[in-house]
Structure 1
Amino acid sequence: MTPFDESERRAWAGNASAYEAGFGRLCAHPVPRLLDAARVGEGVRVLDVGTGAGSVAAAAGVRGAVVTAVDAEPDMARRARRAAPGARVQIAALPQLPYRTSQFDAVVGNFVLNHVGRPRAALDELRRVARPGGWIALTIWAAPAAPGQALLGRAVQAAGVQRPAELPPLAPEDDFPRTVDGLAGMLRGAGLTDAGCRALSWDHRTTPEEWWSGPAAGVATIGRIVCSQGPAGIERIRRHFTALAAEFVTPDGALVLPHTALLGYGRVPA
């Protein structure tokens, strides 16, 4: 496990409820297209890696798929079991999954590559457990970030807050371009055929209070950065967030945030 992986485990530990109430709704947006890209339908044996609160597993179950799902965080796994009662949900983490080679017809990961320290090794493991001819589909956040996705980071920067040393970034040698070409190229580099990628853009509708509640509760890396500052620092970031959020607030008080994700897909050679 890399230092980045260890930091990610700490960032998500015990935060399933706060994630589900805010960021979870955002991350559920690409689910139908993710499942379409992996050809998930009736009777398909699908593995959902990094299931979180279970939105992908639940949607795959509605399609009649035979669903297995994993997450590294036990509280996330518990929520996924409630969301997708027909799925087999286990605790496991990339890049080592407890499944046989070629066990699944389709493998999907909704934003999971954003949270692993060795993305290429993770992708190799996803390929290992997918059968020849099976599809792999993944979403990641695009870089540079869309305006709505960048809002919280801008508030932290405006408050003069630096990323704490105990939150290591992904090692440069493990990173890859978070672009259409970058993700498609990594999929091809893993030996997948018919590989491609497309950008998905949408406006996420929330409220300033809901959007602030996630980082204020310590959710994800941004939450750990916010909460590392103590009460006075947190309040300073919140004031900047409120001021910057005003450009995205509609007359009815909603916060409408433009986001862009990348959907990559490819097929294991038959």
Structure 2
Amino acid sequence: MGTPFDDSERRVWAGSAAAYAIGFGRLCAHTVPWLLDAAGVGEGTRVLDVGTGTGSVAAAAGARGARVIAVDAEPDMARRTRDAVPGARVQIAALPQLPFLDGRFDATVGNFVLNHVGRPRAALAELRRVTRPGGRIALTVWAAPPAPGQALLGRAAQAAGVPRPPHLPTLAPEDDFPRTADGLTGLLRGAGLVRAGCRPLVWDHRTTPEEWWHGPAAGVATIGRIVTGQGPATTERIRRHFTALAAEFTESDGALVLPHAALLAYGEVAGGDAEAGGGAAPGANRGDYDVR
């Protein structure tokens, strides 16, 4: 059974795939190569991409020769990935309950999916369950406090005097965790993963003010509900503050360059050859597996 946070997330993301792809989707795609490297994804790897969004992880894993199953809780996202990533099997499913047998995958990855579940520890336990002993799990989350570029839209709402609506719940205190390298590593170790670690990822996202405003103006994500939740006049007031604040990140050619920071966490499921100090690469000696 989902938490109030999970229920809110379903409403926030409903029907948002097209608007997400234009702005926030491009931002989130930046971390994909690092994520797949951390999970050891290569030729023949059986990969589960959880919270696929518009399919950037699934597409990149497929390009490496992996055999990919992708899931998303939002039907609109699943449809877009199914259309955009030939060869990937795409299903509608939500953490912490996945429709797969124990140990089915060599690698399980989630690009900014742990941000969107109401019970992160239960979600990690489920990812561990579907990953084989010795298999790898890799996840990204946004760091806290946020980098200046990530904070821009929130600053605009704050400057306009628009708070987070009370009907948008946050995680229950007992379910939350520190969005730091130590906090995320501890979360993975608490889920029983071995060789767990975490490293920061920093980059500048290049966009335009118009593109960056498009997502929230279309109601995408929690910031979109804040921007659009009190009517057109309030949305316009936030937009004016956004335009003023964006000037500090705007270059002479009009590009908006936004510093972002995330955390990449990774670990192995206990019990495999890798834990014993040797072992094959993910996907090796698994030729009898068929994801179809």
TM-score by length of 2: 0.92
Note the residue ranges of structure 1 that are not aligned, 5 or more in a row.
Answer: none
Indicate the SS of the match to 1:93: coil
Query: Who is 1:236 aligned against?
Result: 237
Greater gyration radius: 2
Which letter maps to 1:58? A
CA offsets, 1:127-181, max 9 Å, x none?
Answer: 0000000000000000000000000000011111111111111111110000011
Provide runs of 4+ in structure 1 moved above 2 Å.
none
Mapping for residues 184-195 of structure 1, pairs under 5 Å? 184-195=185-196
Mapping for residues 191-270 of structure 1, pairs under 5 Å? 191-270=192-271
Which letter maps to 2:231? G
Query: Who is 2:137 aligned against?
Result: 136
Query: Who is 1:125 aligned against?
Result: 126
Sequence identity, in percent?
Answer: 80
Paired residues of 1:55 and 1:83 also in contact (CA < 8 A): no
Which letter maps to 1:100? L
Which letter maps to 1:42? E
Mapping for residues 61-140 of structure 1, pairs under 5 Å? 61-140=62-141
Query: Who is 1:174 aligned against?
Result: 175
Query: Who is 2:289 aligned against?
Result: none
Indicate the SS of the match to 1:251: coil
Indicate the SS of the match to 1:167: coil
Question: Residues of 2 paired with 1:49 and 1:222: CA distance?
Answer: 22
Query: Who is 2:158 aligned against?
Result: 157
1:37 and 2:44 are equivalent in the alignment: no
| RMSD over aligned Cα atoms | 0.5
Paired residues of 1:34 and 1:138 also in contact (CA < 8 A): yes
Query: Who is 1:51 aligned against?
Result: 52
Indicate the SS of the match to 1:98: coil
Which letter maps to 1:121? A
Query: Who is 1:16 aligned against?
Result: 17
Paired residues of 1:202 and 1:258 also in contact (CA < 8 A): yes
Q: CA deviation at 1:229?
A: 1.5
Question: Residues of 2 paired with 1:244 and 1:170: CA distance?
Answer: 29
Q: CA deviation at 1:83?
A: 2.1
Indicate the SS of the match to 1:19: helix
Question: Residues of 2 paired with 1:32 and 1:129: CA distance?
Answer: 22
Which letter maps to 2:22? A
Paired residues of 1:49 and 1:71 also in contact (CA < 8 A): yes
Question: Residues of 2 paired with 1:61 and 1:85: CA distance?
Answer: 9
